[in-house]
Amino acid sequence: MFQIFSIVSLVIAITIHEFSHAFVADILGDPTPRSQKRLSLNPLKHLDPLGTIMLILVGFGWGKPVVIDPYNFSHPRRDEIFVSLSGPLSNILLAIVMSIFLKLFPFTPLVILIQMNIILAVFNLLPIPPLDGSKIFLNLLPEQKSYEWELAFEKYGIIILIALLFLPFNGSNLISSIMSPIIQFVLQLLV
């Protein structure tokens, strides 16, 4: 039963996350997500086929990234930061709302939903391509430095991410060791 609640919670978290990227991009003037039918809370619009299979098989998956064109924004670098932040912030907001509901209506699956949203938010804020944190980081750098980092980092980002996920460290993996204290701190505030 826990596995089912975890999968449903992650599907909800991914859907809210990706919808938020699409919504903010649309508000800021990029019609790309709208033209790709991503302004929807229908999970089927946001689930990646391989990411969904992995979610079911191993309990870890991912959504289909929302494609944006920053050149449609009036302030491309600033607005791309807003779009990138919107996904993790929407997960944090949903976790806060669910923690209020949890206090009013104690229901164990809400704890799982809160946890999945916090994990997704913290994970996506890591500054590793293709995660949202890398777009935020690159757009905060001076333009020339951003370009240099992107060239050097972009092609190795997924390899670095996989290594961090699977390299053993301290009885777990490296990425869990980095994220766990942050996740635990936020969960203690909310639950």
Per the structure, the complete domain to which residue 7 belongs is given by 2-190
In terms of Cβ atoms closer than 10 Å to its own Cβ (0-12, 13-18, 19+), residue 65 is: middle
pLDDT tens, residue by residue, 122-154: 999 999 988 999 999 999 999 999 888 888 887
Q: What is residue 43's three-state secondary structure?
A: helix
Helix (H) or strand (E) holding 37: none
Predicted confidence (pLDDT) at residue 166 exceeds the cutoff of 90 = no
CA 101 to CA 104: how far, in whole Å? 5
Q: What is residue 172's three-state secondary structure?
A: strand
Nearest residue to 91 via CA among 64, 62, 66, 114: 114
Specify the number of domains making up the chain: 1
Task: Look up residue 39 and give its DSSP letter.
Answer: S
pLDDT tens, residue by residue, 70-110: 999 999 999 999 999 999 999 999 999 999 999 998 888 89
Query: Do 86 and 79 touch, CB atoms closer than 8 A?
Result: no
Q: Where are the alpha helices (DSSP H) in the chain?
A: 2-27, 32-35, 49-58, 76-104, 108-124, 132-140, 143-153, 157-166, 174-190
- Mean predicted lDDT score pLDDT of the chain: 91
Query: Does the annotation mark 18 as catalytic?
Result: yes
How many Cα atoms within 13 Å fall on the side-chain side of residue 1?
Answer: 2
